[in-house]
Amino acid sequence: MKISVTADIFKLAEVFTISRGSRTEAKVLTVRVQDGDHQGWGECVPYARYGETLDSVTDEIMGLPSDVTRQALYDLLPAGAARNAVDCALWDLLAKRSGKRVWELAGLPAPGPEITAYTLSLADPAQMQAQAAKHAHRPLLKIKLGTPDDMPRLEAVRAGAPNAKIIVDANEGWSADVYADLAPHLVRLGVSLVEQPLPAGKDEALIGMERPVPVCADESCHDRTSLPKLKGKYDVVNIKLDKTGGLTEALALRDAAAAEGYKVMVGCMVGSSLAMAPATLLAQGAMVTDLDGPLLLSQDRDTPLVFDEKGVHPPTSALWG
């Protein structure tokens, strides 16, 4: 086999801001695995929060043996962006070789569309109210927060979208005191989920704290090895392929988390339809699907995922799997 990596840039439709900073483009790596007449591909988003760069992830991928298998991959690379892109490319290659879809090969039921969240980036309250009003027709909005002054933003979004279901992502930006103060207001404003209110290294404060709204582990949950550290802190786990290191581990984490009583959210980094495609299989029946990356772009892959009133649809074979 031949493994190749290219860096691709997708312009965003609008500036995207979270508590850690802003961006105007999505920088991704596209991995292609060629085997004779068959080629599989996958996409990852190196994430600085986890010490990843385009160069470091490229080096990890190009250091793999040309005959790497999905099984061997898990001994050669840690959970993260590099392993994700290769794992997904190998799944796609297997589908191309066999003439079957990935869900058949993985023993999964045929997937259907899932309602996905649409993310409103962090801004001042007036801007966030305007964003919410613009997207009030969507059934599920996700609000990026994570500052000590988020109460006016919450009120503004609810005013802009009075009928939408709302989830909140603090991106590790709150202290325990800020979260405790906000919690009753999350209930009052009809928020149905809050993601990662506290920093991953300081989330012990959640033990014993009242959680009137389900709390979801994002940065605190990467793969199955994360689960023992979540007990008593979280109700939901956010599974992202770039954290688990691919679809293979993501499916295993989903099953393990469910067995331990956690609900599942399936999320994404900001990437193209190629990055979301494998995650649509993972999202079937999830409590929350958050695969809106392509909706935030001004351009996408040539055969993009379909988004409509039914949600995000699984990929055609022309895209992936």
Catalytic residue IDs: 144, 240
The backbone region for 179, taken as left when phi is positive above 0, alpha when psi lies in -120 to 50, beta otherwise, is alpha
User: Which residue stretches of 143-285 are H helix?
Assistant: 151-160, 176-188, 241-244, 247-259, 273-282
- Give the Cβ contact number of residue 133 at 10 Å: 15
Contacts of 171 (CB under 8 A, 6+ apart): 18, 19, 20, 144, 145, 146, 195, 196, 218, 219
Side-by-side strand order, sheet with 2-18: 2-18, 21-35, 38-44
Element of type H or E holding 44 = strand 38-44
Residue bearing tokens 């298998």: 69
Of 9, 90, 3, give the one whose Cα is nearest residue 45.
9
55 belongs to an annotated ligand binding site: no
169 belongs to an annotated ligand binding site: yes
Which amino acid is located at 307 in the chain?
F
Tokens at 248, concatenated: 């293979």
37 belongs to an annotated ligand binding site: no
Binding residues for Mg(2+): 169, 195, 218
Binding residues: 169, 195, 218
